[in-house]
């Protein structure tokens, strides 16, 4: 993988991110009736693209919750026997920010939006690698974004601290890169043993007893990046890129017994 650029942003501890302010610092364009989710996606993607003059690319985007605030507002309208406002309804689509982005850039390209509670980034990256390997595209822009909705968190009794999250990378293909998914730890461990690596990075929620088993095979570090974010793999990968720590061997865990493996050279 030849890294072009990366962008990573979290919620500040004192409150939520000012995505619209970040976006205004990047462009004078006004995205009328775009919600906070779209602002977060646009801020991340444009920040990443600004680092590298990428003229031709395909877009791969993942999210765990999508535009959750707009979904809630539209549902509230329906439950109150009212019609949702047209743009409020359009903003419920997780792919809406991609429309804003491509319209702003004035380009036509492939754009894929993926929703997955844990492995959104890995799935988006996997699709990008397939297209790059088959030479359908030359460059890929891959991102993950999620925003916080306090009213939903309160009704669902979610205790963790609020988080908002936008992480993006742009890159070219290296034949050694791969993304794999496994149904249990033994499959994952067997696959890891094929790689002679000094260090493997695991997600913050990785089970302790399996971490100890993995340490018998490789040197392991548990990432503290994005502890409250479901798709913390994007944060780990962008952080490694920013620190020029290559190659990267990363194992994700989805709390339901599923595992992901990402190898980026």
Are 159 and 192 in a shared domain?
Answer: no
Are 133 and 219 in a shared domain?
Answer: no
HEC assignment per residue over 196-226: CCCEEEECCCCCHHHHHHHCCCCEEEECCCC
Question: Which of 105-114, 130-139, 226-235 is predicted with the least confidence, judged by mean pLDDT?
Answer: 226-235
Measured between alpha carbons, how far is residue 78 from residues 25, 68, 214, 226 in Å? 36, 15, 50, 34
The 8-class DSSP code of residue 162 comes to P
Confidence check: pLDDT of 106 > 80: yes
Are 50 and 162 in a shared domain?
Answer: yes
- Rg (the chain; Cα; Å): 19
Long-range contacts of 160-163 (CB under 8 A, 24+ apart): 160/228, 161/13, 161/228, 162/11, 162/15, 162/16, 163/10, 163/11, 163/226, 163/228, 163/229
pLDDT digits 0-9 by tens, 237-262: 777 776 666 678 889 998 788 999 99
Domain with 54, as residue range(s), is 2-172
pLDDT digits 0-9 by tens, 167-214: 898 888 888 888 999 999 999 999 988 877 778 888 888 899 999 999
The number of folded domains in the chain is 2
Last residue within a domain, chosen from 143, 172, 201: 172
Please state the pTM of the whole predicted model.
Answer: 0.86
């Amino acid at each position: 993988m030849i890294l072009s650029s990366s962008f990573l942003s979290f919620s500040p501890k004192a409150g939520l991110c000012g995505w619209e302010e970040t976006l205004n610092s990047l462009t004078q364009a006004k995205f009328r009736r775009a919600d906070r989710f779209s602002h977060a996606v646009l801020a991340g993607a444009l920040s990443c693209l600004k680092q590298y003059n990428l003229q031709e690319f395909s877009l791969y985007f993942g999210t765990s919750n999508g535009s959750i605030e707009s979904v809630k507002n539209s549902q509230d309208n329906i439950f109150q026997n009212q019609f949702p406002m047209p743009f409020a309804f359009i903003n419920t689509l997780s792919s809406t920010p991609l429309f804003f982005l491509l319209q702003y850039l004035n380009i036509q390209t492939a754009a894929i939006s993926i929703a997955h509670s844990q492995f959104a980034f890995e799935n988006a990256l996997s699709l990008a690698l397939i297209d790059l390997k088959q030479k359908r595209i030359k460059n890929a822009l891959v991102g993950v974004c999620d925003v916080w909705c306090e009213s939903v968190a309160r009704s669902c009794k979610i205790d963790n601290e609020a988080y908002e999250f936008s992480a993006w990378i742009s890159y070219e293909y290296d034949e050694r890169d791969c993304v794999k998914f496994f149904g249990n730890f033994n499959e994952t461990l067997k696959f890891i043993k094929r790689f002679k690596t000094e260090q493997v990075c695991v997600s913050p929620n990785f089970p302790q007893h399996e971490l100890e088993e993995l340490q018998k095979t490789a040197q392991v570090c548990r990432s503290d990046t994005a502890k409250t974010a479901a798709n913390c793999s994007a944060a780990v990968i962008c952080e490694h890129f920013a620190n020029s720590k290559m190659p990267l061997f990363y194992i994700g865990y989805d709390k339901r017994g599923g595992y992901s493996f990402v190898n980026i050279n």
